[in-house]
Chains A and B, each alone.
Chain A
Amino acid sequence: MITLKELSDVNLFTAGHTACPGCGVAMSIRNAIRVLGKDTVVYVPASCAVVFGTTFPYGAWKVPFFHTAFENTGACLTGMQAAFEKKGKKVNVVGFAGDGGTYDIGLQSMSGAAERNDDVLYICLDNEAYMNTGIQRSGGTPFGAWTTTTPVGKNIQGNRRFKKNLGDIVAAHEIPYYATLSIGQPLDFIRKVEKAKNIKGFRFLHMFTPCIPGWKMDPARTVEVTKRAVESGMWTLYEIENGEKKITYKPGKMKSVRDYLLMQGRFRHMSDEDIKTLQMWVCKKWNLHYKEKGAPEVCEIEPPEEHHAVTEEHREMHGP
């Protein structure tokens, strides 16, 4: 297993890219590509990663980069892999798609590649909303979260549905490898990327990637928030290898989901009742993953001082 010390210092995703400060996607891409190495070809569907990674005539990628559309990551990986195989070249064919590009518009294409068990690595960078277009709800948006399409209104506050269980959907294709990752657990992160790299067939790495403007948080806390997500059960670290599920990191005593929510402006409006609802969802998930009941009392949450938002600011950054 590669340790931090052994990890390559070669920047295959160079500095000078134009992601927001503290971007969880940039962090995850940089480290994934460090492990994957230079014999890699990437496909990136429409997303922030296209824009901050390549803007003609400049690019941050030092490995071949391809982009055409939003909903076709799976298919493009299939096409690239077939062509490389025909030419007798051994190349890591890797897709970096967002949650919108995977949970929603790209689900069919991903499913096709998974079902065919094409020899590709699909990486989902899950920041829980359509961030490139300016923070709109996706199938990966958690319950209660503010987005610009699940605004905090007088009648309806935030997203009313729970995050789609993508892991089970992907795993149901009976692929050789599915794993969830968090940048906050570096060794686990590196190990899973390395493992996925060396398995043949369709591999899926599901990375939890905070978005500073989308989650309305301090850029310095990108890594911290992923750790809190894991400690609270909002994100679980596990892998499914040939149908066998294994928890790869088990937190100690379950922390209240409130600790996680309070770090982020997108949840700041949530009512006690909504927090309780979300907490129950998390407890169910915790129980499912860790096979233990863990439902700490839902604490009272202090009401927000004011309706938090810098929505215009975010809109400005991300375009209409």
Chain B
Amino acid sequence: MYFYPAPVNKKGMFEVRFHGRGGQGAVMAAQTLAEAAVNEGNYAVAFPFFGAERRGAPVLAFTRIDSKKIFSKTQVYNPDCVVVLDDSLLDTIDVVSGLKPEGIAIINSKEKPEDIDLGKIINTATVNATSIALEILKAPITNTAILGAFAKATGIIKIESLEGSIKRKFGEKLGAKVGERNALAARTAYEKTLMGKSRGVKKLEARKQWLPDYQEIPIGGALIEGKTEAGLIGPGSFIENKVSGWATYRPVRDKEKCTMCLLCWFYCPEGTIHRISDRGDLMTNYDYCKGCGVCANECPVDAIKMVRARV
């Protein structure tokens, strides 16, 4: 069963938006899909949108597939399909924004489609790409597994074509063995993909953004500490940027073992471990913990353990 049984040339252009986090390989997935589509005789383009953020931050990538040359050079606003490489993104980003009513959401999740709440009821496919990747690739890089689910759910591309592109593209960069394994991850995901409809209960509030017009923008873009309807701006305003979604693991400290040597507090690159001076204690604010694990690694008495941030 495909959500999209018709071949590309009957439906016109097919547009895909990938949601991932820096480091998960969303761009590579978009490119691999494009290459596979071209190998099937279609025309395809893939391109990234790079934000300013680094590893772990949300990123976007796009693929367009058509039977004829594609001239459009804009971003994709009304995709036929969205692919979500990391289901933690569902909490903060409206991943189905602009998705066509008959469009498909493909989500890396251990849940069934019926248990995924996308804020609207739409065709949804899920696959636990993370566990497949961990098992086959020994790393939580889910881009190839999720492509298997894409092939299964959309029917836009044959799984064999994807396997071919993956082997070539990953093999060329990382060695034939890695290519084979990634192709296997795609095939495994293809077979394990569940299809159904999402739930449509939650209301995702669009993140407010301060968008001053040209008269309101401070002269020369120079900012002092300020507050807008959308929150803080200027020096120190990053404090409103919660980055916990980046974390796969988070530290848990055993107070009994802790000697208050303060090394974790010193090393934490985020500044998310605080001293509570009146109690001579430490507190970790998980809102800002990206789960790097330096604190646990450096603790001289082994008082910190890293645990999965989301189960």
Q: Do chains A and B touch in the complex (CB under 8 A)?
A: yes
Which of A101-109, A138-146, A241-249, A307-315 is the interface stretch? A307-315
Whether B233 contacts A312 by the Cβ 8 Å rule is: no
Whether A61 contacts B290 by the Cβ 8 Å rule is: no
Q: Which residues of B contact A295 (CB under 8 A)?
A: none
A56 to B237, CA, bound (A): 10
Q: Does B175 contact A (CB under 8 A)?
A: yes
Which of B95-103, B127-135, B263-271 is the interface stretch? B263-271
Total contacts A to B, CB within 8 angstroms? 182
Interface centre among A21, A24, A307, A315 (most CB of B within 10 A): A21
Interface residues of A in 283-318 (CB under 8 A from B): 306-307, 309-313, 315-318
Distance from B153 Cβ to chain A, minimum over Cβ atoms (Å)? 24
Whether B236 contacts A62 by the Cβ 8 Å rule is: yes
Distance from B306 Cβ to chain A, minimum over Cβ atoms (Å)? 8
Interface residues of A in 237-284 (CB under 8 A from B): none
Q: Does A39 contact B (CB under 8 A)?
A: no
A319 to B243, CA, bound (A): 20
Whether B261 contacts A4 by the Cβ 8 Å rule is: yes
Whether A51 contacts B52 by the Cβ 8 Å rule is: yes
Q: Which residues of B contact A4 (CB under 8 A)?
A: 261-263, 265-266
Whether A52 contacts B53 by the Cβ 8 Å rule is: yes
Residue of B25, B57, B223 near A57 (CB, 8 A) is B223
Interface residues of A in 1-46 (CB under 8 A from B): 4-5, 7, 9, 11, 13-24, 26-27, 30-31
Q: Which residues of B contact A223 (CB under 8 A)?
A: 267, 294, 297-298
Distance from A36 Cβ to chain B, minimum over Cβ atoms (Å)? 15
- Residues of A within 8 Å of B, CB-based: how many? 59
Distance from A259 Cβ to chain B, minimum over Cβ atoms (Å)? 16
Which of B67-75, B193-201, B272-280 is the interface stretch? B272-280
Q: Does A224 contact B (CB under 8 A)?
A: yes
Q: Does B292 contact A (CB under 8 A)?
A: yes
Closest B residue to A305 by beta carbon equals: B177
Q: Does A180 contact B (CB under 8 A)?
A: no
Interface residues of B in 226-284 (CB under 8 A from A): 232-243, 246-247, 261-263, 265-272, 274-275, 277
Closest A residue to B306 by beta carbon equals: A220
Whether B233 contacts A57 by the Cβ 8 Å rule is: yes
Q: Does B41 contact A (CB under 8 A)?
A: no
Whether B267 contacts A59 by the Cβ 8 Å rule is: no
Known A-B contacts A27-B267, A57-B223, A57-B233; A17 and B238 likewise in contact (beta carbons under 8 Å): yes
A221 to B234, CA, bound (A): 32
Residue of A16, A22, A186, A309 near B242 (CB, 8 A) is A16
Q: Does B136 contact A (CB under 8 A)?
A: no
Q: Mark A109-124, 1 if CB is under 8 A from B, else 0.
A: 0000000000000000
Whether A317 contacts B271 by the Cβ 8 Å rule is: no
Q: Mark A50-77, 1 if CB is under 8 A from B, else 0.
A: 0110011111111111000000000000
Q: Does B119 contact A (CB under 8 A)?
A: no
Whether B237 contacts A219 by the Cβ 8 Å rule is: no
Q: Does B173 contact A (CB under 8 A)?
A: yes
Interface centre among B210, B221, B265, B294 (most CB of A within 10 A): B294
Q: Does B113 contact A (CB under 8 A)?
A: no
Whether B269 contacts A18 by the Cβ 8 Å rule is: no
Known A-B contacts A13-B271, A220-B296, A317-B55; A58 and B237 likewise in contact (beta carbons under 8 Å): yes
Whether A16 contacts B54 by the Cβ 8 Å rule is: no
Q: Which residues of A contact B177 (CB under 8 A)?
A: 306
Q: Which residues of B contact A309 (CB under 8 A)?
A: 173-174
Q: Which residues of A contact B238 (CB under 8 A)?
A: 14-18, 58-60
Q: Does B16 contact A (CB under 8 A)?
A: no
Whether A14 contacts B173 by the Cβ 8 Å rule is: no
Interface centre among A15, A24, A309 (most CB of B within 10 A): A15
Whether B50 contacts A57 by the Cβ 8 Å rule is: no
Known A-B contacts A23-B269, A58-B233; A18 and B53 likewise in contact (beta carbons under 8 Å): yes
Q: Does B9 contact A (CB under 8 A)?
A: no
A212 to B55, CA, bound (A): 9
Distance from A315 Cβ to chain B, minimum over Cβ atoms (Å)? 8
Whether A21 contacts B263 by the Cβ 8 Å rule is: no
Distance from B37 Cβ to chain A, minimum over Cβ atoms (Å)? 19
Distance from B40 Cβ to chain A, minimum over Cβ atoms (Å)? 22
Q: Mark B65-90, 1 if CB is under 8 A from A, else 0.
A: 00000000000000000000000000
Q: Does A175 contact B (CB under 8 A)?
A: no
Distance from B23 Cβ to chain A, minimum over Cβ atoms (Å)? 5
Q: Which residues of B contact A7 (CB under 8 A)?
A: 262, 266
Whether A21 contacts B292 by the Cβ 8 Å rule is: yes
Residue of A11, A21, A65, A212 near B247 (CB, 8 A) is A21
Whether B178 contacts A306 by the Cβ 8 Å rule is: yes
Q: Does B285 contact A (CB under 8 A)?
A: yes
Q: Does B288 contact A (CB under 8 A)?
A: yes
Closest B residue to A315 by beta carbon equals: B27
Interface residues of B in 32-64 (CB under 8 A from A): 48, 50, 52-57, 59
* Between-chain CB contacts (< 8 Å), 26 pairs: A9-B277, A15-B243, A15-B271, A15-B272, A16-B238, A16-B242, A16-B288, A20-B22, A20-B54, A20-B290, A21-B246, A21-B269, A24-B269, A31-B266, A55-B53, A57-B237, A59-B234, A59-B235, A213-B54, A219-B292, A223-B297, A224-B297, A307-B175, A313-B23, A315-B27, A316-B28
Top 8 A-B pairs, shortest CB-CB distance: A220-B293, A22-B292, A15-B288, A21-B292, A16-B241, A21-B290, A16-B238, A20-B55
Interface residues of A (CB under 8 A from B): 4-5, 7, 9, 11, 13-24, 26-27, 30-31, 48, 51-52, 55-65, 183, 186, 212-213, 218-224, 306-307, 309-313, 315-320
Other CB < 8 Å A-B pairs besides A9-B277, A23-B54, A48-B54, 4 of them? Answer: A26-B270, A27-B294, A59-B235, A307-B174
